[in-house]
Structure 1
Amino acid sequence: MASNPDRPASSQATHPTAHAHDPEAAATPPEKMPDGEHAPRPLSTLQTVGLITTCTAAMCLNNALNTAVAIALPTMGKEVGIPQYRLQWVISAYTLSSGCLLLFFGRLADLYGRKKAFLAGVAVMGILSIGLGFAQTEITIDVLRGLQGLGAAAAIPASLGILAHAFPPSKTRSVAFATFAAGAPVGAAIGSTIGGVLTQLTEKTWRSTFWFLAGISAATFLGGALSMDADKPSEEKDKRIDWLGAFLVTAGLVFIIFILSDGTIAPNGWKTGYIIALLIVGVFFLVAYVAWEVFLEHQLDAHSVAWWTPPPLMRVSLWGRARGKLAVTLLLALLEYAGFMSFSFWIQLYYQNYMHLNPVLTMVRLLPMFVTGIIANMFVAAFVGRVPLVYLVTMGMTLTGVANLLFAVINPAATYWAFGFPAAILSVFGADFVFASGTLFVAKVCLPHEQSVGGALFQTMTQLGASFGLAITTIVYNSELKKVSAADGVVVNVDGSNAPMDAQLTAYKDAFWSACAIAFFGAVLSVLILRGAGIVGHQKGSEHGSTISGDTIRDEKAQVQTEKKA
């Protein structure tokens, strides 16, 4: 029997994805799809809208829980007594836990039910939002934010898996994924707008924001309970969990993201003993995880399964799908979110700490980001079935780089319309283009039982990108702040609050220069490697003929027939 290098051997040996890619088979869907998946039932227009809206609401909630907190950080720091140099942990605690457990919760969702994972995750985000509204100390806030991230780690991969399973390749799938991606700017708008208004105008300031988000969580939970079909767990023969793999990847990511977040504020910076030690341990765990997953995949493909060799948490061969273009797409997601999240972080500090604007005035200046984000995703929904992936990703990353460039050369005395407004408009194109087209690409090359894991992998790369970007730009900011302040004869204190204004401006500009370089590097990489990646969206009637160039997915019909004969 011929071997197909772009498809897992286990599926070749058992039941290939005929109904995922075969037009004739798709015309008469069976009761169950290959790989243990049940065929999705036809949805009415109302059911389709309800399902997409609910999944998008979870994405909105996830982003609102970051932007609402980000805009309230200065107020929160003053009221609770959190030093400026530790404020980032209110954000990092959430991204740390959510980013590190995405793969594990994605696997659980694929195995035991995506609806269960979705509802549990949204419930955790809502309940802990209530608790955060009553938190009185820095440690309580950090711990609850860390636990809250577990909810996002469960809900977001489940959402992607639900959408990928409910909507086969078609115009509707493209719209569903673009709408889901639009949840990021919409959620950011809700978070920044409501967060800014409630923080400034209510008696409870930032606490009111968390209680408002708890209400959104309750509405999303209700929407999920009503719009999602009851779970039909995967019928894979071996449902064991790769606990060792889950431990290795989670521990490795925890150490790496912790180092990226804490390295700049450690007692001796990156030279601090525990930073170096944890970096070594984190890299060791990640290398061990990859080696273990390769071994498990080999054992599974060789049908040499023992009691101690469960199915891998993630097939390492997944990275090689589409002749390695999936791996490149994941790397570009990391670079894009490094540039975009750095822009989002520093622009708020620039407006509030350097320009001394209040939260509401800061929010008003960021509104164009969210409006443009919605428009960008509408563009993706309309053209992702016509425009090759390389054009979307390259254009998006270039525009994110230009947004950072505008603030890298900004004149503070100039009007907002000269630098701030165009930067706000351009910044979101990269995140929205890369997320929408990237998740469509992942859904396309993943098998039915891998959809939540594939979505979790993409989300993990964006989380790592955010942490990587903030770490790099923070190093640049702190270094330049001390350097310019020393030239002015000022010894900067720990939080940098006594730095001269010219030193602060130079430091902000250099941070934006760094983010600009990251985004432009991603754009160049996209041009060089994603050429020939083809169109990732599908129009009805042409979805099986428009595939990734060089990918064997389009040849699966012939492969299925060959395997049947064998």
Structure 2
Amino acid sequence: MSSLLPLSLDDDEGPKRLSVARKLVLLLMFCLSQFMDTFSTTSLLSAIPTLETSMGMNEAQSTWVISAFRLTFSSFLLISGRLSDVYNPKTVFIAGAFSLGVLSLCAGFVHRTIPILVLRAMTGIAAAMTIPSALKLLVKVFPDPLEQARAVGFFAGCGAVANMGGVLVGAFFVQWASYHWVFWFVSCVAFPVALICMFIVPSQIGETADSLEPNKAKWKTLDLVGIVILTVAFILFIFSVTSGSTAGWKSSMVLVLLVISIFMVVGFFYWETLLPANEAAIPPQTWFYSNFSVLFAVALLPSFWWNAVMFTFSIMWQNVFNWSVISSAVHMTPIGIVAFATSFTGPLSRIISPKWIILTGLFLCMTATLLLALGGGEPENYWTYVFPAFSLGSAGIMMTFTHSNIAIFQAAPSSKAGTVGAIYNGALQFGSGIGLAAMSAIETSVEATHGGSQNYAGRAATFWFVLGVVALQFISISIFYDRTTDHKPQPTHDSHLTHHVTHNDEKLGEANATTIPEVN
């Protein structure tokens, strides 16, 4: 029973005293939150045609059933990350999971277009509350580097499984039950997660020096001005990118909002340089953590590649080859199976430099993308080109996703895990939004002169574009990833927040050095 007692913040052994069973249950709860957030998007891919018929939606409105969730999810990640770092992440996580359950339950009873779009946008905010807080808690529960690598890898793997499993489960619901169950299924998972975590997550395990400050001091460190600027910028940017694929890139609304969002992002980074480091939403030194910037760039790729493959082939198989929803989903199962199997490679990062694992993953992804660019336009090419491409590409992307995730958390201080998790997951959404918009523009322009949507030329052109993106990532990791920091202990706090005192005024780093928090 001792493992159920509150943990002391001053006791570094606290997380280690948790029983193995309790740690595994906590990991499962955190992974289910990752699963729910991804499932909330991918499961609707199979339900969109039914939603259009049931609610009388047009194509633009049905697109926003998915885009509304992504827009708010990606935009509110930074707010969630800061709340998780400044306040207790347990509270943020439970509130997010419970809200996700309530909103998804309500969405299942809605039969009109506007209410479902509003609920989907609100669901994105609730989902955004669960990811940075879950990662913050996960890093605290598994402080040991090897255990943390395994846990982060499994956490990432559940997202990959939901990416594919959502399509398959959604297809089953649509085919044999009702599209309403796509929403209700999320509630069936979210409510137990919130309830269980209310009792088994130690109240103090996520608390830091920041979270113990008075409420007035906490509000100061949230940087509400910076968060609002960046959130509005993300909303405008994602809205313009999403609208560009439906309203056209020459639309004045799209262009104006795109320019405004870019200027707001620039304004945000200027604002951050004016604040003390401990009050900035994203302190400038964050980008100078070892390998942080190059790993952020790599994070733009995984969701982009998976979504590009699923969107391209699910639409082609159903609209061009006239395959059923179930048949299309089953043909995509290699993506989820291989991704989940590859997620268990997390411990390799403690033996081999993450650089070589990420490069291996990117090489596999380049090979897979090349296969998709060369073939896949005919049903008989599935086993020759598409199946091996799905298998190789999913394994490669999962390796890249898992080990860049592990490396970025090992590079950053554990006290900033919530913010780092928000930045990383924001990059995943950001890359997917930009990439899919670019692919849509390329496919449309090529199909206009090469036989229309019935021809594979437009889709092949998009995969050549994706191949170039992956190759650029490969070159970036090869040149800019610094291996000298591999396998070193994860920092606890930013270096500017601590200073070292020795009894004999000797150089820093002596065995008898004492770390004392700086007094503000």
Q: Which range, TM-score by smaller chain? A: 0.7 to 0.9
Select the residue among 216, 223, 243 that pairs with 2:189. Answer: 216
Q: Structure 1's 515 and 312: CA in aligned 2 closer, same or farther, altered over 3 A?
A: same
Q: Where in structure 2 are the equivalents of 1:72-471 lying within 5 Å?
A: 72-202=47-177, 204=178, 206-231=179-204, 233-236=207-210, 237=213, 238-239=217-218, 240=220, 241-266=222-247, 269-297=248-276, 311-322=279-290, 325-381=291-347, 383-410=348-375, 411-471=377-437
Number of the residue aligned with 2:471: 520
**How many angstroms apart in 1 are the aligned matches of 2:106 and 2:443?**
34
State whether residues 365 and 420 of structure 1, in contact with CA within 8 Å, keep that contact through their aligned partners in structure 2: no
**3-state DSSP class of the match of 1:355?**
coil
Amino acid at match of 1:113: N
Amino acid at match of 1:501: Q
Select the residue among 467, 486, 489 that pairs with 1:535. Answer: 486
Deviations for 1:323-364, whole angstroms, at most 9, x for unmatched residues? xx2111101111343333222322221222222211111111
Number of the residue aligned with 1:9: none
State whether residues 405 and 516 of structure 1, in contact with CA within 8 Å, keep that contact through their aligned partners in structure 2: yes
Deviations for 1:48-78, whole angstroms, at most 9, x for unmatched residues? 1111111111111111111101222233233
State whether residues 386 and 535 of structure 1, in contact with CA within 8 Å, keep that contact through their aligned partners in structure 2: no
**How many angstroms apart in 1 are the aligned matches of 2:517 and 2:460?**
64
**3-state DSSP class of the match of 1:483?**
coil
Query: Which deviates more, 463-472 or 355-364?
Result: 355-364
Q: Structure 1's 339 and 500: CA in aligned 2 closer, same or farther, altered over 3 A?
A: closer
Q: CA deviation at 1:565?
A: 13
State whether residues 9 and 207 of structure 2, in contact with CA within 8 Å, keep that contact through their aligned partners in structure 1: no
State whether residues 302 and 398 of structure 2, in contact with CA within 8 Å, keep that contact through their aligned partners in structure 1: no
TM-score (norm 1): 0.80
**Length, aligned pairs only:** 488
2:454 corresponds to 1:501: yes
**3-state DSSP class of the match of 1:264?**
helix
Q: Structure 1's 425 and 533: CA in aligned 2 closer, same or farther, altered over 3 A?
A: farther
- Consecutive unaligned residues of structure 2, counting only runs of 5 or more, are 1-6, 492-506
Amino acid at match of 1:463: Q
**How many angstroms apart in 1 are the aligned matches of 2:510 and 2:446?**
60
State whether residues 302 and 401 of structure 2, in contact with CA within 8 Å, keep that contact through their aligned partners in structure 1: no
State whether residues 195 and 209 of structure 1, in contact with CA within 8 Å, keep that contact through their aligned partners in structure 2: yes
Q: Structure 1's 262 and 402: CA in aligned 2 closer, same or farther, altered over 3 A?
A: farther
State whether residues 339 and 516 of structure 1, in contact with CA within 8 Å, keep that contact through their aligned partners in structure 2: no
Deviations for 1:492-541, whole angstroms, at most 9, x for unmatched residues? xxxxxxx5623xx22222222222222222122211222526535x7xxx
Deviations for 1:123-182, whole angstroms, at most 9, x for unmatched residues? 122112122212223332222111111112110000100011122133211111111111
**3-state DSSP class of the match of 2:108?**
helix
**How many angstroms apart in 1 are the aligned matches of 2:9 and 2:199?**
23
Q: CA deviation at 1:368?
A: 1.1
Q: Structure 1's 354 and 534: CA in aligned 2 closer, same or farther, altered over 3 A?
A: farther
Number of the residue aligned with 1:23: none
State whether residues 85 and 419 of structure 2, in contact with CA within 8 Å, keep that contact through their aligned partners in structure 1: yes
State whether residues 54 and 111 of structure 2, in contact with CA within 8 Å, keep that contact through their aligned partners in structure 1: no
State whether residues 413 and 490 of structure 2, in contact with CA within 8 Å, keep that contact through their aligned partners in structure 1: no
Q: Structure 1's 474 and 565: CA in aligned 2 closer, same or farther, altered over 3 A?
A: closer
Deviations for 1:259-285, whole angstroms, at most 9, x for unmatched residues? 11111212xx22211112111211111
RMSD over aligned CA atoms reads 2.6
